[in-house]
């Protein structure tokens, strides 16, 4: 029998997160990674935006606390807890750190909580790139002796699931995330970019927050699910695949997993996984899916781009009642497709330019008031695309031809 990667699944009982985190790490023998003296350890939770723990958007602060406490047992020289929140506004990560409850936990536990954008920057060249030649990230990625990924289990509008691989998108600094969205506007290419980013910031260990999760229209406006789970392991692709199975999805639905496997970051083959602790069956809880079902397009880049920008194009709508004209959407749209209304007053909403929009869903994801909704009308999009018009013209010519034959 070949080598099997270990994944521990532990239930959280009576809100005791620490016991579950510690026992999951013990089951996979994670202390083997902590043999060096004076280690610099970098923890990467998901700090997407300024939302409280009970909303299920960011990694739960008690999971972060438990991982810090576990690391502290090995007397590290320094523990950093870092992320770069969604959006490009200066100060947005600091706000998210405070509102998520992670800032205070770090203070209490003596870890340094730092927005990645406040650390020294470094440009990383990507080996064998699928989409990105290089990324602008933090030098801490290089300096750390150990990186521990602490993602949360959430559904995702665009990518179906956000967990291990997707969480490392947060190592890309503020506005550079928008640039990545703009460059890799089609889902297939965006998934390639996610895998390139992961290949640079590759953590040695992952502890998954499956405590308070999100289903449906995640990663920020879905419904909260109290799943009460912790998973720990080494292979991010296997971990994401196990998470898929737990929440009733198929790993093949998550496009970046096959790409990560192609880049030899791990395996989706669960025959190569040794699951310790609970079984998938024991903890199964079907999650509501996001409205969008991504379609893989093994097509030439130009055709995939064309289809992504026509057939799969969304119409973005703003809810007048919910919108607080906070400016998040227009300051963060990567292509400037959203502008403020002429007058900032209640009842007005931002303006959306369908020609510029690349359907990246950043506005939906980042609106703090859940005021942005989208709709994709595939039939209308197809009919009004050049390809649709071409097909209609072709059918019209063929029909006229047969009519002419019949008449004559
Ligand atoms: S739609 Fe949301 S993000 Fe945009 S201005 Fe309104 S409240 Fe802010
Ligand atoms: S309008 Fe929204 S979906 Fe369109 S490009 Fe801007 S942020 Fe992305």
Q: Ligand 1: does its nearest atom lie under 6 Å from the Cβ of 232?
A: no
Shared domain check, 276 and 339:
no
| pLDDT for the residue numbered 157 | 87
Give the range of the structural domain holding residue 175, as residue numbers without chain letter: 5-283
Measured by CA distance, the residue closest to atom 8 of ligand 2 is 360
The answer to the question of residue 22 being in a domain is yes
Q: Find the 332 Cα to ligand 2 centroid distance in Å.
A: 9
How many angstroms is it from 374 CA to the middle of ligand 1? 13
- Do residue 216 and residue 130 come from a single domain? yes
- Does 395 map to a domain? no
Tell whether 327 and 266 lie within a shared domain: no
Best mutation site among 320, 339, 369, 370 for ligand 1 pocket (most ligand atoms within 8 Å of CB): 369
pLDDT at position 298? 61
CATH of the domain at 355: 3.30.70.20
Q: For residue 234, how far is its CA from the centre of ligand 2 (angstroms)?
A: 35
Ligand nearest the Cα of residue 316 is 2
The 3-class SS string of the chain reads: CCCCEEEEEEECCCCCHHHHHHHHHHHCCHHHHHCCCCCEEEEEECCCCCCCHHHCCCCCHHHHHHHHHHHHCCCCCEEEEEECCCCCCCCHHHHHHHHCCHHHHHHHHCCEEEEHHHCCEEEEECCCCCCCCEEEEECHHHHCCEEEEECEEEEECCCEEECHHHHHHHHCCCHHHHHHHHHCCCHHHHHHHHHHHHHHCCCCEEEEEEEEEEECCCCCCCEEEEEEEEEEECCHHHHHHHHHHHCCCCHHHCHHHHHHHHCCCCCCCHHHEEEEECCHHHHCCCCCCCCCCCCCCCCCHHHHHHHHHCCCCCEEEECCCCCCCCCHHHHHCCCCCEECCCCCCCCCCCEECCCCCCCCCHHHHHCCCCCEEEECCHHHHHHHCHHHHHHHHHHHHHHHHHHHHHHC
Is 224 found in the same domain as 347? no
Q: Which ligand is nearest to the CA of 340?
A: 1
> Does 371 sit in the ligand 1 pocket, CB within 6 Å?
yes
**Would you say the CB of residue 318 lies under 6 angstroms from ligand 1?**
yes
Take atom 4 of ligand 1 and give the residue whose Cα is closest: 329
Q: 265 and 362 in one domain?
A: no
Domain end residue (candidates: 267, 283, 299): 283
Number of independent structural domains in the chain: 2
pTM of the predicted model, to two decimals?
Answer: 0.90
- Positions of the chain with pLDDT under 70: 1, 293-299, 301, 304-305, 308, 385-389
Q: Are residues 206 and 156 in the same domain?
A: yes
Q: Is 357 in the pocket of ligand 2 (CB under 6 A)?
A: yes
Q: Identify the pLDDT of residue 31.
A: 98
CATH of the domain at 122: 3.40.50.11440
Same domain, 278 and 317: no
Residues 273, 360: one domain?
Answer: no
- From 320, 325, 338, 366, mutation site for ligand 1 pocket: most ligand atoms within 8 A of C-beta: 325
Closest atom, ligand 2, to C-alpha of 361: 3
Residue 325 Cα: closest atom of ligand 1: 5
């Amino acid at each position: 029998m070949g080598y099997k990667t270990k994944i521990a699944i532990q239930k959280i009982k009576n809100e005791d997160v620490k016991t579950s985190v510690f026992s999951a790490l013990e089951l996979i023998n994670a202390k083997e990674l902590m043999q060096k003296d004076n280690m610099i350890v970098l923890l990467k939770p998901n700090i997407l935006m300024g939302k409280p723990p009970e909303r299920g958007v960011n990694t739960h602060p008690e999971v972060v606390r438990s991982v810090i406490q576990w690391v502290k047992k090995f007397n590290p020289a320094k523990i950093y807890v870092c992320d770069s929140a969604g959006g490009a506004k200066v100060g947005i990560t600091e706000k998210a750190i405070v509102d998520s409850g992670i800032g205070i936990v770090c203070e209490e536990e003596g870890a340094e909580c730092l927005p990645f954008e406040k650390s020294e920057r470094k440009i990383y060249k990507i080996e064998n790139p699928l989409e990105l030649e290089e990324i602008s990230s933090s030098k801490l990625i290089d300096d750390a002796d150990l990186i521990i990924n602490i993602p949360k289990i959430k559904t995702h509008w665009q990518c179906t699931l956000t967990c291990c691989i997707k969480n490392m998108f947060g190592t890309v600094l503020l506005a550079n995330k928008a640039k990545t969205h703009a460059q890799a506007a089609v889902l297939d290419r965006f998934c390639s970019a996610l895998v390139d980013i992961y290949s640079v910031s590759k953590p040695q260990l992952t502890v998954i927050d499956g405590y308070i999760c999100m289903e449906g229209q995640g990663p920020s406006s879905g419904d909260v699910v109290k799943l009460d789970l912790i998973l720990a392991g080494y292979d991010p692709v296997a971990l994401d695949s196990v998470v898929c199975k737990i929440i009733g999805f198929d790993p093949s639905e998550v496009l970046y997993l096959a790409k990560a496997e192609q880049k030899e970051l791990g395996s989706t083959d669960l025959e190569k996984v040794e699951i310790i602790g609970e079984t998938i069956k024991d903890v199964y809880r079907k999650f509501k899916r996001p409205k969008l079902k991504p379609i893989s397009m093994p097509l030439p880049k130009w055709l995939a781009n064309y289809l992504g920008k026509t057939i799969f194009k969304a119409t973005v709508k703003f809810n007048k009642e919910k919108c607080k004209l906070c400016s998040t959407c227009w300051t963060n749209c990567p292509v400037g497709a959203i502008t403020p209304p002429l007058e900032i007053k209640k009842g007005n909403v931002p303006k959306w330019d369908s020609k510029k929009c690349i359907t990246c869903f950043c506005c939906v994801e980042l609106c703090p008031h859940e005021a942005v909704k989208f709709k994709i009308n595939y039939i209308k999009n197809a009919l009004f695309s050049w390809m649709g018009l071409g097909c209609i013209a072709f059918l019209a010519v063929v029909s006229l031809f047969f009519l002419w034959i019949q008449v004559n």
